[in-house]
């Protein structure tokens, strides 16, 4: 039993480490920082995370995370997530969450724009992020 508990704890820590890790700006490759500054020169008080092997810059708002832009280690822009009001999500997202994730509440919402200009919506619930297309049709749980 004790071995099982230790194993579960180790797996939990490993999964948490894969999600996102706060890192110091000095640990971000110069090519990534340069690409970020070129794309978002107005950004101030930027914090960094490493997520799934990529680098994520966060800035803006009271939480410092109203904007989150993600770049590959080579400095290639992947996407930006801009925080939005939950009320600004497409109208069919809240009913979807209520029906498919019993008891879950949407904690935060975001408008995702990828490098090609495609828009998605993100609804954060306990246990992960739900992604929807521009019409509010469910895509996947991240």
CATH value at residue 83: 3.10.450.360
Q: Whole-prediction pTM value?
A: 0.80
For residue 102, being part of any structural domain is answered with: yes
Give CA–CA dist 50/11, Å, rounded: 19
Residue 4, in any domain of the structure: no
| 125 pLDDT above the threshold of 50 | yes
Return the closest-CA partner of residue 74 out of 113, 33, 108, 104.
33
List, for residues 49-104, the tens digit of each pLDDT value: 999 999 999 999 877 779 999 999 999 999 999 999 999 999 999 999 999 999 99
Residue 9 belongs to a domain: no
Buried b (16+ CB within 10 A) or exposed e, 109-121: bbbbeeeeeeebb
pLDDT of residue 92: 96
Domain membership of residue 127 as a residue range: 21-141
| Paired strand residues for 140 | 131
Number of domains in the chain: 1
């Amino acid at each position: 039993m004790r071995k099982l508990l230790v194993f579960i704890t180790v797996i939990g820590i490993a999964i948490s480490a894969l999600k996102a890790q706060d890192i110091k700006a000095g640990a971000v490759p110069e090519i990534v920082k340069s690409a970020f500054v070129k794309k978002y020169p107005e950004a101030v008080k930027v914090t960094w995370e490493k997520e799934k092997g990529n680098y994520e810059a966060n800035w803006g708002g009271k939480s410092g995370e109203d904007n989150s832009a993600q770049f590959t280690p080579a400095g290639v822009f992947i996407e930006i997530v801009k925080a939005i009001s939950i009320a600004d999500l497409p109208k069919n997202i809240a009913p979807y969450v209520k029906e498919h994730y019993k008891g879950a509440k949407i904690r935060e919402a975001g408008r995702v724009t990828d490098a090609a200009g495609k828009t998605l919506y993100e609804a954060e619930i306990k246990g992960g992020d739900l992604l929807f297309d521009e019409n509010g049709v469910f895509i996947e749980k991240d």
